[in-house]
A and B are shown apart, each in its own frame.
Chain A
Amino acid sequence: MATSTTNPQESFPAEHGRPYAVATTFQTTHELLSAIRGIRKKGYRKLDAYTPFPVHGIDEALGERRSKLGFVIAGGALAGILTALLLQWWTSAVDYRLIVGGKPYFAIEYAVPITFELMVLFASFAAVFGMLAFNGLPRFNHPIFNYENYARVTDDGFVLVVERDGNHFEPVAIVELLNELGGKNTEVVHEDA
């Protein structure tokens, strides 16, 4: 804790590790959204919110950018189309040429159903695994789980978190500010339990 001399507010019990963030809980989406706007006005930018369901307007409030997952999914769809066309063309018209029912070795018409199916299949995999990758899941350990009130996130609590931004972190001030904004069970969350 070399920084503790320069920043006296960062003196915490050593067994809990470094502070990760200050967390607080709200009862409704409206309280959460207005608190986010309130704390952003004070200049705090490293924020996150934990909610039981997706809250409309929270991305704008937090300044989150639009998800780029769409590009990954489009890539998956394209890969599916190419795989299906190459597979059907190469096996029937190149590797093992066989006349079936007097039809051409390869024709786009008969290739449509399987091409469609593989496009859907690959795009779906891209959507699910892309979503998990962007979210850094699976990840079974995270400092937010150390928040006493965390279990309410998946039930009925709307948790706002002000994360430590580098070495500049004034938990006492943030706790006061969050309490003023109406947060309940406000506490400093540490990196180790």
Chain B
Amino acid sequence: MADLAIKPNTQLDLLNTTIDQPLVTGEPTYNSITESVSRVVENPPSKFWFGLLAITSSIMLMLFVMLGYLVATGIGVWGNNIPVGWAWDITNFVWWIGIGHAGTLISAILFLLRQRWRTGINRAAEAMTLFAVLCAGIYPLFHTGRPWRAIYWLLPYPNTMQIWPNFKSPLEWDVFAVSTYLTVSVLFWFVGLLPDLATIRDRATGFRRKIYGFFSLGWRGSAHHWKHYELAYLVLAGLSTPLVLSVHSIVSFDFAVSILPGWHTTIFPPYFVAGAVFSGFGMVLTLLIITRKALNIEHLITLKHIDYMCKVMLSMSMIVGYSYASEYFIAWFSVVDGERFAFYNRITGPYAWAAWTMIFCNVISPIPLWWQAVRRNITAVFIITIFVNIGMWYERFVIIVISLHRDFLPSSWDYFHPTYVDICTFIGSMGLFLTLYLLFIKFVPMIAIAEVKHAIAQDIEKGAHH
């Protein structure tokens, strides 16, 4: 029975590892995988790490100062004003949420599709999801001005005014979508971590052993455990897959359900989801290229991983490019003045520079990824991912600000200028993201140890016999 169950994987070996490069380069054993991942958590942090942490946490502090200033003063400290009522706040929100999509896509969808190469990168990508969604949550929360007063119209609880949230509003759907996404991502991440935390526990002594012992919940790795665990993990992947698609669809409803030209289009849900996956893979690649070098885990996060992620990014780039073209076609085809004007104004108006930046970064710059030589050239990939990160921020800026700044009433047309608070809050949220990421790679096994062993068990045991 067991041999029968294992055979299909041998087929996969032929497809994935023999013809192509192996998942883990070198001659890995179970123990060498444990060692190279645990080492990162167990070695005392380097001066380099402390230096980076000092920088990122200072930037994070700037975020807290800016948010404190905003709450104490009012949202007038941001540049938003009529007609541009949403600007950097919601641009940043959508950008961060989009980045958060790669983690779940890698963990859940690639898991269901039996893409074994995901095991090297899924943990770090999931962590990035959590941190990105946390950063995203800041903006809708604080753009209410006084978040503690927003609670009664965001969350349905029996309050003294005896009123309820408006469930007919996409903004309310968004509250549920984003908070569900954050919660389920945390659960998914933690369940994946359980066996690896137990690994660190069993190697640790003293106080560390207690801490990791506590968080691993006494995981023993018995066959009985794994039976329920595997089912729970599979179902979480199955639930996360439609969830991740729903989240950015619902974010896009915030716009698509309105009647503003530039927002009011039915293509938004798939277009937003593709854009989210695109920017998410961009950010994951940016960070992993640095991380694998800094932590000497290039044999675990290999060129093959980078190559595959580039392919996903390239295909998403094409979907995004197609969506841009489709928007223009529909605007022309609709013969609606407002629609036609909105899109004409987008590429020729005062913000044409932003629209062309977006098109260059998202549609033109990924084209070299068609060549494998480029996909396996770390420097080239890194530069392209930076373009993608910038381009996807501009995409949201283009959709939000350009659509708002010239609406139906020409007398209220205006040009949006960000204030220093806008800029510092955005940079500050990157500080929060990077600080959390630095803490993550130091305290949590950043590669799914048990999953990597599972994925290459065949190769390891074959090697052991010869």
Contact = CB atoms under 8 A, between A and B. Distances in A.
Q: Are A and B a genuine interacting pair, yes or no?
A: yes
A29 B9 CA distance: 14
Given A92-B167, A151-B203, A131 B223 contact: no
A54 B229 contact: yes
B111 to A, nearest CB: 13
A124 B223 contact: no
A15 B216 CA distance: 29
A91 B153 CA distance: 13
Interface stretch (B177-185, B306-314, B412-420): B177-185
A50 B220 contact: yes
B213 interface: yes
Contacts of A73: 232, 235
Interface string A107-139: 000110110111011011101101110110111
Contacts of A111: 167
B383 to A, nearest CB: 37
Given A113-B173, A127-B235, A51 B156 contact: no
Interface stretch (B158-166, B273-281, B290-298, B384-392): B158-166
A104 to B, nearest CB: 9
B232 A69 contact: yes
Interface residues of A, number: 68
Nearest to B225: A135
Given A52-B450, A53-B450, A121 B183 contact: yes
Given A64-B227, A96-B164, A124-B187, 4 more contacts: A52-B449, A54-B230, A61-B2, A128-B236
Interface stretch (A3-11, A153-161, A165-173, A178-186): A153-161
A141 to B, nearest CB: 7
Interface of A: 27-30, 33, 48-62, 64, 66-67, 69-70, 73, 87-88, 91-92, 95-96, 100-101, 103, 110-111, 113-114, 116-118, 120-121, 123-125, 127-128, 130-132, 134-135, 137-142, 144-145, 150-151, 153-156
Interface residues of B, number: 73
A103 B168 contact: yes
A93 B201 CA distance: 53
B231 interface: yes
Given A113-B177, A131-B229, A154 B221 contact: yes
A154 B195 contact: yes
Contacts of B450: 52-53
B248 to A, nearest CB: 12
A121 B203 contact: no
A111 B232 CA distance: 28
Interface string B249-262: 01001000000000
Given A50-B220, A67-B228, A155-B202, A91 B156 contact: yes
6 contacts: A52-B30, A58-B2, A73-B235, A92-B167, A110-B167, A130-B228
B17 interface: no
B454 A54 contact: yes
B454 A153 contact: no
A138 B225 CA distance: 12
Nearest to A160: B223
Contacts of A49: 222-223
B72 interface: no
Interface string B9-45: 1000000000000000000011100100000000000
Contacts of B451: 53
Contacts of A28: 461, 464
Interface stretch (B89-97, B239-247, B345-353): B239-247
B325 interface: no
B230 A142 contact: no
Contacts of B236: 124, 127-128
A79 B176 CA distance: 16
B243 A120 contact: yes
Most chain B CB within a 10 A radius of its CB, from A51, A117, A132: A117
B218 interface: yes
Contacts of A33: 2
Nearest to A150: B202
Contact of A87 (B156, B162, B231, B250): B156
A138 to B, nearest CB: 4
Nearest to A106: B167
Given A30-B461, A53-B454, A67-B227, A156 B235 contact: no
A130 B229 CA distance: 10
Given A28-B464, A54-B454, A131 B191 contact: yes
A124 B202 contact: no
A48 B177 contact: no
Contacts of A61: 1-2
